[in-house]
Amino acid sequence: MPPRAAPDRLRPSQREGDEIEILTFTGGPFVQNTLLVVCEDGRTGLLIDPGAATPDALSAARDRELEIAAILLTHAHVDHVDGVAEAKAETGAPIHLHPLDRPLYDNVAEWSAFFGVPCEQPPPPDVDLEPGTNLVFGGSEFEVVFVPGHAPGHVMFVSTALPVAIVGDVIFRGSIGRTDLPKSNYGELMESIRSQILTLPAETQLYPGHGPETTVGLERGTNPFLLHLNGGRWA
């Protein structure tokens, strides 16, 4: 779900690293970011949190002649999975989800009705994400890191080669994930941010589920929701 302050709407964007590219497509009433990762080999793609902008991401994958190797979910809130059914039907790629978010995932049709947004019930996940393990696709490797709080089974994907982390709805530029939703927990969220995100190198690029990219250093020094983690002062 979106951060506490409404983010600016983004046009599809691209950032190049030494070995991967991450393309961001934003859409829907929740202004959610669907990510298309182009792996090191230039032929393999990863679709992360396919939401309302999934058609645009799939179109980009077709244009680049990418083979989508996996559909990776940071968590199972409706705005992050409402394009999963379409993505699975077109690509056949396995769906990866942490098992603690399976109850949210299995009831996504009910949540979509509650929020008044259309969502086709996605097919069952194919792979359980296991924190502490690494995923390797197309020569690119990401560690699965457990960051609960916004959702019970929330994970992020941290590149093992580049200062890049795909963080879902844990942290945003100048904000943090909501904890007023069922199964959310403020204490767990803040501990996840403190122990798993702020401990990353300052230059680490953070790709959130809503709003623009940011860095660990920027959030460590300016995010008002994290001020108390620095003893009540800016870092």
Return the half-sphere exposure (C-beta side, CA atoms, 13 A cut-off) of residue 98.
23
Residue 6 lies in a domain: no
The answer to whether 79 and 51 have CB atoms below 8 angstroms apart is yes
Q: Is 167 a member of any domain? A: yes
Range of the domain at 138: 13-230
Over the chain (235 residues), the average pLDDT of each successive run of 10 is 36 51 96 97 98 97 98 97 97 98 92 77 96 97 98 98 98 97 95 97 98 97 87 49
Q: DSSP labels for 26-53?
A: EETTTTEEEEEEE-TTSSEEEEES--TT
Does residue 101 fall inside a structural domain?
yes
What is the chain's mean pLDDT, rounded? 90
Has residue 23 been placed in a domain?
Answer: yes
- pLDDT tens-digit map of 12-41: 334 444 589 999 999 999 999 999 999 999
| 180 within a domain of the structure (yes/no) | yes
Say if CB 235 and CB 215 are below 8 A apart: no
Domain count across the chain: 1
The dihedrals phi and psi of 5, each to the nearest 5 degrees, come to: -105, 135
Q: How many helices (H) and strands (E) does the chain have?
A: 7, 15
Q: Quick one: which of 212, 234, 220 has its CA closest to 11? A: 212
CATH of the domain at 128: 3.60.15.10
24 found inside a domain: yes
Give CA separation, 192 vs 52, 176, 195, in Å.
27, 11, 5
What integer pLDDT is reported at residue 120 of this predicted model? 84
pLDDT of residue 84: 97
Considering the domain boundaries, does residue 107 fall inside one?
A: yes
Question: Which residue type does 149 have?
Answer: G
Residue-wise pLDDT for 34-79, tens only, equals 999 999 999 999 999 999 999 999 999 999 999 999 999 999 999 9
Q: Is 4 inside a domain boundary?
A: no
